[in-house]
Every structure is written in C-alpha cells, then in structure tokens.
Amino acid sequence: MEEENDSHYLESVTSLGDTRNIVTSQDIYSKNGIKLAGRGSRIDSSFYDRLVRHKLMLSLDQCMTAENAVTGDELLAGTKKLFEEEPRFFIITQLVDIKKIWSAVSRIKLNDALAFKLTVAREMRPEILEHSLRILLISLCIGSKCRLSEADLANLAAAAIFHDLGELHIDPEILKKADLTMDERKHIYAHPMTAFLILREFPEYHPVVSTAVLQHHEHLDGSGYPAGISGQRITPLAQILGVAEVTGGIADPHRLEIVLKLNMHKLNTEVIGHALELLKPDQEISGSDQSIGEIGDRLAQLARAFEAWNEICQTRDAPIFKLANQRILELRHALFDAGFNPLELDWLTSGIENDPGEIQDVQTLVNESFWQIRNLERELNRLWPDFEKAADADKQILKDWISRHTGSLH
C-alpha cells in the first residue's frame, strides 16, 4: 500500500521516536524515487517535515522497527487482565470455554508491520488499543457462543484487534468531539476502509480478516458504513464485531439490553441474544438522571415527532423519503415491541416512580430513539449524492423535521 501524506499518523510515529528507539529497517524512498532516509536511521520528530511532503514508495510501517514492540504475548496478557478486572465478565467462564478464547488470542499473527502499528497505538493513542482489547474479548466470547470453529475464532480475534487501526490515521481531536461537521464525519466513516487497505497487503489477513474489519460498521438494513451494504452481504465475523462494538461501548447491562433490542433490525438477532446472555445480570442499577415528568415530556415529544412524520409521508413520495420512512417504521416497530404506544404514553411511566431500574429503562428507551432519529440524518447526509434527483426542498423538509423534533446534529 502506498503511503499518502498522512500527517496525523506520521506525527505520531515521529513523535514516538523522541522517546523510543524507532529505526528504519530499510531505505525509505518517495514514490518518485527520492531517498528520504537510509536503513538504520533513527527516526524522531526532526524527520516529520522531510517525510510529510512526500508519498512513500512503501508503507511507513513496513520500513520501521520499534524498541519494545507489541507482541502476541502482550496481547494475551492484556486480554486476561481485562477479563480479571472488569465485572461484566464474571459469569463468562460458566458460559463459554475460556481456554478456546485464550487459544484464539494466542493465534493472532503479528507481523513486523502490524506489531509496529499496534506499538504506535499503545504509546501514542492508548485508548485505541484498550478499546480493541475489549472488543477482542467480547467478540471471542460471543463467537464461542455462536460455536465458531477454532479457525474462525482465530480470524475473529485478528479482526477485533485490528478493527480500529484506521483511527490512527484520523486527527485525534475529531474523535474527541461530540458534534462533528460533515467533513469531519467523512474521516470517521473512512476508518474501516483505511484499516482494510492496510490489512489487504498481508495474505494472512486478506480477505477474511480484512473484510470483517471493512464491514464492522455495516448494518443488516443497509444503514451502516462505509458502503451501506445489507443482509448476508455482511460476513458473519463482521456481524459479530458489530454487536461487540455496541456491547463494548455500554457498561450498564440494563441500558445495553434496551439498546440492543432497539437495534434488532440493524444487527444479527442471534448474536444479540448471545451478547445479552453474557451480561452480568445483578449489577447495581444507578438510576435515572431525569424525573418522571421530564421523561414523560420526552415521550410526548417522540410521539409528536412520529405524528409529524406521518403527515410528511402523505404528501411526499421521492425515493429519499421512502428510505427515511423505512428507517422510521423499523424504529416504530421496535418501540411497539418495547411497549411504546403514542396513544398510551402514561402506561410507560405509571407506577414506576420508586423503581430506579424501570425509570432508567424508560429513559434509555427514549434517549436511544432520539439518537436513532438523529443518526438517520447522518445516514441521509452520506447518501445525498445517491439521490441526485432529490430536490433541495425535499432535503430541507427532512432536515427541518429532524431539527424541530429532536435537535439537529450538524
């Protein structure tokens, strides 16, 4: 893979060289044949300006070695440490063969280039490696419940540890922001493709592992990214990774159960079932940060949003509205399954004033519903180019509805 002018990753590598011994394993040439550094050169931040101006003949990772690089033994030790320290994993040994989990982690093949990549993550972007270890453990536990073969578990382990390598090539400030511009979102949407391009250079990871990484943010209903593919075009390993991503991001089991159930149309239902089975069932409930009255108001706001959408759908039949309506109907069906009825809103909050778990569940139901509506806006923004015949007025109607009833994310 040819190395583009990747300033953010290059800054991480050269800055790491200021504190660690980073040495070139071969000569570094630009794409047009200019020698930028000789074999055995110590790389530090003084090389940044020289390297950033050129596209490289080979990937930077293929030309570097790092002192105290990440090893397979380190990944195994990190996974076991997480398993021992995080409460959510306390019943896993009763539900899966933990020896198969450790065996799969041990079989991750770390070549020099990817060991270097993980070393940069560990030293410069530790949150990426920590997250990847968590997804690694969750994915393998789910994969074991799915009765994957040892070979598939090993591929799943590799996909999990490498799934977010693309984030190393994104400005870290973007990943810290809550509200992103469309241009910033494009960088986020590209990170699975970036990781895929990295992995496809290595036969041991391509195409099984690389494809799982590419698709780990795709959804069964086609609402995911980067390609918006749907159904069984998404590989089984990618479907497991998708559920693990959601599971790994939500610590509270009660909230997680609701979020997963509201996403049954997006994620594999069998995999969701296994994820829910692996939760710790008796974790202490923290309670809601909103009053019953505030939650009731939000429920009414959600009901008004659906009512307004029904009026819009009666007068618009452009393809972009048909797609949006499909997403809204899927959400409404999931909400009805959870007990949400716009005509009987009081039923959801009646008699739960002294039950912190029930209050928290209803609050989570509402918050996740609004998040999914806002996420519809992000999906439509990605797809605007595919709806060239959509009039600007149609686009504005959709944006106005989302903004008026949920608060638009820009």
Q: List helix spans (H) across 200-318.
A: 208-214, 236-249, 253-262, 269-277, 292-313
Q: Provide the β-strand partners of residue 47.
A: none
> Average pLDDT of 111-136?
96
* pLDDT for the residue numbered 385: 67
Query: How far is the C-alpha of 326 from the C-alpha of 331, rounded, in Å?
Result: 9
pTM of the model: 0.81
Which pLDDT tens digit goes with each residue over 24-81? 999 999 999 999 999 999 999 999 999 999 999 999 999 999 999 999 999 999 999 9
Helix (H, G, I), strand (E, B) or coil at 288: coil
Report the pLDDT averaged over residues 160-180.
90
344 compared with 1, residue with greater pLDDT:
344
**CB neighbour class for 143 (10 Å; exposed up to 12, middle 13-18, buried from 19):** buried
In this prediction, residue 292 carries a pLDDT of 72
Q: Which domains does the chain have, with CATH numbers?
A: 7-66 (no CATH), 72-277 (1.10.3210.10), 292-406 (no CATH)
* Contact assessment for residue 342 and residue 270, using Cβ atoms and an 8 Å cutoff: no
pLDDT of 351 reads: 56
**pLDDT level of residue 329 (50, 70, 90 thresholds):** confident
> What is the number of other CB atoms lying within 10 angstroms of the CB of residue 94?
7
pLDDT at 111: 95
pLDDT beyond 50 at 409:
no
Q: What is the pLDDT of residues 253-302, one digit of tens each?
A: 777 888 888 888 899 999 999 998 887 554 444 555 567 778 778 888 88
Share of the chain above pLDDT 90, in %: 52
pLDDT in tens, 185-220: 889 999 999 999 999 999 999 999 999 999 999 999
Q: Which residues contact 20 (CB under 8 A, 6 or more apart)?
A: 66, 67, 68, 123
